[in-house]
Structures are given as C-alpha cells and as structure tokens.
Amino acid sequence: MSALWRVLRSSRSGRTRWLLALVLGVLAAGAAVVLAGVSAWLVTTAAEQPPVLHLMVAIVAVRAAGIGRGVFRYFERLVGHDASFRVLADLRVAVVRRVERLLPGSRTLGRGDLLTRFVNDVDGLADLWVRILLPAAVTVVVSVGAVVVVGSLLPIAGVALVCSAAVAMVVAPAVSMAVSGRSAARVAPQRGAYGQRLLTVLDGAAELAVYGAVDAALGDLDSADRSLRRTEARVAWGAGLGAAVAVLAAGAGLVATMWLGARAVGSGDIDGVTLAVVVLLPLSVHELVAVVTPAAAQLPALRTSAERLVAVVDEPDVVRDPSFEDDLPEGPWDLRLRGLTVGWPGGPALLRDLSLTVTSGSTVGLVGPSGLGKSTLAATLLRFVEPLDGAIELVSEAGAVDISRLRGDRVRSVIGWCAQDAHVFDSTVAANLRLARPSATDDELRSALSVVQLDDWLVALPHGLDSMVGEHGRSMSGGERQRLALARVVLSGAPIVVVDEPTEHVDDTMAGALMTDLVSALADRTMIVITHRPDLLPPHVHVVDLAEHAPPHSTGADASNG
C-alpha cells in the first residue's frame, strides 16, 4: 500500500476542497440515513394515533432530509470533481517534470508501449479520489454516526450494526480479493498477450488467407482467448462471492436486530417505535456500503499503477546538470570525442574508446550495423545520457569545453538532433516546425520546408501550414516525417547537427534522394551522420566504422533501445 499512500500524499492541491467534499458527502449520506430513521419513527408513532401536531416535527424533518440529500449530493459531486481534476493536473505536471529529466535514456520508460501504459496509469490514479476514497470516507463517517444513534437506543443493536457493517465493508472485499486477487492481477497481462497474438494474426491475415490457414491461426488465438476468459470468470467469481458476503452480512444484521429488538420490547426495555428505528435505520447504512465496496476491487490494479508511477518518480536523473556552468566561448566549434565510451545508464558499454575530431563545417559518417549502440551514441552527443567514460568537447580558438560542464539545454542549442524516430506532434504543420524556433515567420517555415523538398507536399495539404498532421504524423509517410524533422533542424540554426539513421523508415528508392537532400540542406553545418547504410553517403564524407569500437560479442545487445 505504501506506493498508493505516497501518491495520495503527493497531491496537495485542493485539500480544503476534499474536506469540503467530505463534509457535503457526509451531510448527503447522513440525510439519507436520517430519512430512513425518521420515517420509521413517523409511521410507528402515527400508528399510536397521537395528535397530528405531535408528528409535525418529524414530517418537517422527513422533508428537510429528503431535499437536503439531493442538494448536498449535488454540491458534493461538484466539489469532488473539481478537486479530482486538480489532482489529475498535479499528477500530470509531476509526471511531465520527471519525464523531462528521464527521456530519452530512462530505464523504467524505455519502450513505447510502456509509455502508453504509464500515461493510462496516471489517468487511472486520478480516479482514486473521487470514485473510491471520497465515498469510502463518507461511508465510514456516516456508519459511525449511525452506530452511535442505534447504540444509544439499544446497545446490543449498535453492536449488531458494527459487526454487520464491518463484515460488509472489510471482510467482503477481503474475501473477494483472496479468491480472485491473483487472477485479477493476471487479467491485464493476459489481455496484453492476447492483443499481441491478435496483432500477429492481423498482420499475417492476408498470407494466412492465401495459405488457407486462417482457421488454424484463429484456433491459436482462441486458446489465448479461452485462458483470458477463464481468468476473467475467476475474477467475477471472487467479486460475486464478495457481493454475496455483503448481502449476507446486511441480512444477518437485520435478522439479529429484529430478534434482539423483539426481546427488548418483550422485556419492556424499548418501545415499538424504537424497535422500528433500530431495525430500519441500518438498512440505509448497508445501502451506502453496497455502493462503496465494489470500488475496492480496483485497489490491486491501482496499487500496481501507483508502484509504476513511484518507480518512475524515484528513478534518478539520467543526466545531472552542473551547478555552475563553464563559459562557452564563441564558435565556430570543432567537436572532439576523446576516448568516448557509451552505453545506457546502468547498462554495459556498447561502443568503446572512440576518439575523433569533427572540424567545423565538415561531415563525418559513423557507420555500423543495427543494434550496435548508434542511437546511444547520438543521445550521448546531445547530453541526454552521460558518457560511461571519456569526454565530448566543443573546441574553439579560445579553448576546449567539456559538454558535461554545460547545462543540457545549452549543449542542445549548439548540437542539434535529427532523430531516427522524430516525434510528429498531433498538431499543425506550423506548430510542429515552430518548436524549433518559436519566433519563425510563416515565410521562414515555408522556406525551411522547401529546403527539405517538402514544398510540393505542403501545396497538396488542405490548409497549408495550418493543416493538422494527425496522430503520430500518421497522415505522413516515413520519408515525409523524416523530412519534417530535418526542416526543424534547418530552422533551429544549431551549428552542429547529429543525424541519426535518416533513412531507417524510408524505402530504398527514397533513401538515396533523402540523403542527398539532407547533405545539401545542411551544407553549412557541421554534421555527424549515423547510419548503417554507408553506400548512401556522398563520396567526400569521412567514414568511421563503429564496429571496430564495439566490445566483443555485443552485436544486437540491446535492440529495444536501438
């Protein structure tokens, strides 16, 4: 529970709002319980045929409680939702703040699917407050109040209510968790596994159709489907058992109170009116409990989410900025690598002892097969990760500065990046470009696009620069995406540019043209082109074979990080 507890305490936003929501919730739920108690009193007293005036207070109380229940509930929901939106915002901001320190290079957030799951986790945790904690707190407070009232009327009935409510609130969820907790934890991974198999079959569907093997593949899928169904059924079995225990607890309390109350009436300890109140009032308490307990079933999943969140929050910064920055003299700069060894934080060395000087204005090709650690090298050059050994220096006439003595943002204003998988934001073309230079005019954007040969593409777009480029740039081809990323680098004006696998997502015919355009677009910059296709580099480029720097037996060591 400690991870959940930390998440709970982390959000300070709107504590008074939570308190207010709690008070309003207690008033609303309390009104419902009062309504049940007073109606019981009203009817049994009326049956004794007293003067009508005698009932007036109760009649007014019934109406007030009835109206109060609705009105308090309305405000409780408003205040509670407002507070939970604030919590969601707090969590997201905290996450973005951490991610800003961790990506790329994070151990806990390495792969894309983990990232998506993580974002969903955060959204799910925000629900914790409004759907689980607030109703649970309200129910506990109101139940305690009800126990006090019932206990003061007939102590033994108070005891019965405590027992039955405790069983319904604590034992029932515990039983269902004991029965299906482990299955519940398996549902998400099994759904994931099913989804993965499904994707394989969908990807191969055409081939399977040609080979007449669709049914066989579906059979394979069915077995995953069946085991998923079995797990889901076990979860439902446990949830049903919990519900049954709660119903039994409420019923046992009712029967016991009825029996004890009847004996108390027989012995003259209480009158009939009190009997009706102590028997009927607990029913409304159990109605509250029945709404809360199913939510408790989500706790294990939420705990897993919270643990993942905490793991990310606790992960140390991938790179620590120096507290006092060295001065960076005026450029132009040569880029000098001295005995550089790179690897992901905490991982093995992928490339060793790389020494090289890229003089200002020249282009160097760093070449090696996939999986060698080329993307790690790019991340190190951009100061997204620390070198495992050696140094990267910016050398000007005034002297050399080690980039680890500079803030990351400063380094990246000098060394630009054209990433292998540059992200295209779900926004307009202009917004995607302006992140490289917010002050750029529309004309500057257009000319950057024409430098990377995207002018025809721009003309074909329905709204020009204001056209949306869709989720993950899905309306763009691999080559267009790569060119857009290149246009950003053109705009950014960074004098040194690291280009990581520019032709990775482009087919063969396009690759040559892209490489040629790239080299001419950035002709005035210092360029480091990292690629596994040396044949595409222009002939004048100095090529360094990275394979010579790989430790023995390391090829393909970490395919997931490229």
Partner 1 sequence: MKPVDPRLFTAARGSVPAMVVTVALGAAVGVLVVVQATLLATAIARVIDHGGGDGLVPLLVVLASVVAARALIAWAQEASSQRAAAIAKSELRRQLVERSASIAADPSQAARRAEVASLAGGGLDALDGYFGKYLPQLILAVVVPIAVLLQLFRTDLTSAITVIVTLPLIPIFMVLVGRMTERANARRWDALARLSHHFLDVVEGMPTLRAFGRGSAQPELVAASADRYRTTTMATLRVAFLSSLVLELLATISVALVAVGVGLRLVDGGLDLRTGLLAILLAPEAYLPLRQVGAHYHSSAAGLAAAERAFALLELEPVRHDGRAGVPTGPMSVTMTAISVRHPGRERPAPDHADLVVRSGEVVALAGPSGTGKSSMLAVLLGLRSPDSGSVIIGIGDASLSLADVELAAWHRSISWVDQQPYVMAGTLADNLRIARPAASDDELREALRRAGLPDAIDRTVGHDAVGLSAGERRRLGLARALLRRASLVLLDEPTAGLDAATEDDVLAAVRAESDRGAAVLVVSHRPAVLRAADRVVTLR
Yes or no: say if 149 and 36 are a contact pair by the CB < 8 Å rule: no
CB of 539 to partner 1, least distance (A): 18
Query: Cα separation of 108 and 115, whole Å?
Result: 9
CB-nearer residue toward partner 1: 144 or 262: 262
Query: Cα separation of 412 and 379, whole Å?
Result: 11
Query: Cα separation of 181 and 192, whole Å?
Result: 18
CB-nearer residue toward partner 1: 352 or 376: 376
CB-nearer residue toward partner 1: 352 or 506: 506
Indicate the DSSP class of residue 318.
Answer: S
CB of 524 to partner 1, least distance (A): 19
Residue 209 burial (C-beta neighbours within 10 Å; 0-12, 13-18, 19+):
exposed
C-beta neighbour count of 331 within 10 angstroms: 15
Alpha helices per DSSP H over 267-344: 272-296, 299-314
CB-nearer residue toward partner 1: 55 or 149: 55
CB of 523 to partner 1, least distance (A): 21
CB of 298 to partner 1, least distance (A): 12
Residues contacting residue 225 through CB under 8 Å, at least 6 positions apart: 194
CB of 1 to partner 1, least distance (A): 26
CB-nearer residue toward partner 1: 414 or 550: 414
CB of 500 to partner 1, least distance (A): 11
Query: Cα separation of 68 and 35, whole Å?
Result: 10
Yes or no: say if 510 and 334 are a contact pair by the CB < 8 Å rule: no
CB of 534 to partner 1, least distance (A): 14
CB of 73 to partner 1, least distance (A): 7
CB-nearer residue toward partner 1: 81 or 463: 81
CB-nearer residue toward partner 1: 88 or 146: 88
Alpha helices per DSSP H over 109-171: 112-127, 134-153, 155-166
CB of 44 to partner 1, least distance (A): 7
CB of 117 to partner 1, least distance (A): 11
CB-nearer residue toward partner 1: 101 or 338: 101
Q: Give the SS3 label for residue 428.
A: strand
Alpha carbon distances (Å) from 398 to 320, 334, 391, 392: 26, 12, 18, 16
CB-nearer residue toward partner 1: 164 or 352: 164
The two tokens of residue 65 are 């409680």
Burial 430-448 (b: 16+ CB within 10 A, else e): bebbbebbeebeeeebbeb
Q: Describe the strand order of the beta sheet including 526-531 as a list of residue ranges.
A: 415-418, 496-500, 526-531, 363-367, 542-545
Residues contacting residue 42 through CB under 8 Å, at least 6 positions apart: 55, 58, 59, 62
CB of 466 to partner 1, least distance (A): 17
Query: Cα separation of 552 and 528, whole Å?
Result: 25
The two tokens of residue 258 are 């009825």
CB of 355 to partner 1, least distance (A): 25
CB-nearer residue toward partner 1: 264 or 519: 264
Alpha carbon distances (Å) from 333 to 336, 381, 425: 9, 14, 32
CB of 531 to partner 1, least distance (A): 14
CB-nearer residue toward partner 1: 22 or 379: 379
Give the DSSP H or E segment for 198: helix 172-203
Strand partners of residue 19: none
The two tokens of residue 270 are 């209480």
Alpha helices per DSSP H over 368-477: 374-381, 408-414, 429-434, 442-451, 455-460
CB-nearer residue toward partner 1: 178 or 398: 178
CB-nearer residue toward partner 1: 155 or 339: 155
